[in-house]
Amino acid sequence: MTLQRDPAWDRADDLLNALSLHEMDRARILLECGVNPLRLGRMTTAQAERLGTRLEVDPEYLLGQASRPVLHPRLYHNAPQELWRAVSQAVEADRLNGVLLLKCHRIDLDRLRPGMSNEDPRSMLAVVLTLRSPAGSYQVEGWQLWQPEPWTYLKSRKHVLSVLLLLRALDGLRHTGCDPRGIEIPVEEMKDLNDGTRHVSAVLGHARWLPKWDVESFLDAPGRRRDILASLHDYGGWQDWVVEARKPGEGPR
C-alpha cells in the first residue's frame, strides 16, 4: 500500500522552493525544525510551529487549518519603534542582508488621487527585511514582511519616513544591507500582502519583480522636506538607535 503524502509538506515545499535553497541547506532547516527530510510522515503541531517561525508563516496554514498563509504582517502601526528595533537587532547580529520597499507598479505616491481611501492598495508602501539565518554551518536568506502603510495617511507616512531615515543613517556608517532597494509590484499583490492572503515569498521568491525605483530619489524628492521634518518631530528617537560604525575587520558585536 502506498502512503499518501501529507498535503502540509506541499505547502511547506512552496515556501522552501521560493528561497532557492541548496538541497543541503533545505535539509538543515528541516532537521533544525525537528523534521527528518527522508521520512516525511504527518506533520506534527510542533513541527508546524517551528517551520512557521522559520518561514514567517502561520502554523495553522501549514497544517491545512487556515486558508491564509499569515495572520497579518508584522505591525508597526502606531509604533515605528518595533521596526527600528528589528532593523537595529539585525544589524547588531550581522543578519541584515537587505531592505526592500514595495509600492504598486506605475503608481507615483506623490500624485495620488485626493480622497483615496487608506485601504486602497495603490497608496501603500511595504517594508520587507531580508535576513540571514544560520542553517548548520551555512547561512540562508529569508524575508520578513511588515504591514504595508498607506502613503495617503500622514501618520503612516511619518512612520515610513522615520524608518527610511534610520536606514540612511546606518548606511552612512557603512553597515551593509541598510541601503533600501525599491521594488514595484502589481496592485493585486499589494492587496493580498496587506490582507495576509499571499505570502511575501510568492511575490519576491519567484522572480516576479518589476522595474525598481530609486529610494534615494524618493527621499530627496521636491516637497519631501516638510514630511521628513514632521517625522523627525514625532519620531526623531530613531537617532538614538543608530549603531556606531565597526572598525575594518571587526566582526559582529
DSSP character at residue 109: G
DSSP state of 123: G
Q: What is the DSSP string of 20-62?
A: T--HHHHHHHHHHTT--TT---SPPHHHHHHHHHHHT--HHHH
Residues in the chain: 253
Is residue 18 very low, low, confident or very high in pLDDT (cuts 50, 70, 90)?
A: confident
Residue 129 in contact with residue 146, Cβ under 8 Å? yes
Q: Which tops the pLDDT comparison, 217 or 19?
A: 217
Query: What's the average model confidence in pLDDT over 1-24?
Result: 76
Determine the pLDDT at residue 136: 64
C-alpha torsion 54→14→101→197, nearest 10: -100
> For the chain, which residues make up each domain, given as ranges?
7-62, 81-241
Q: Give the pLDDT band (50/70/90) at residue 245.
A: low
- The three cell numbers of residue 42 are 504527518
C-alpha to C-alpha distance for 198 and 201, rounded to whole angstroms: 8
pLDDT in tens, 101-152: 999 988 998 888 878 899 999 999 999 999 988 776 677 788 899 999 999 9
Residue 133, strand partner residues: 140
Whether residue 246 has pLDDT greater than 70? no
Question: For 56-108, what is each residue's pLDDT tens digit?
Answer: 889 999 999 988 888 778 899 889 999 999 999 999 999 999 999 999 988 99
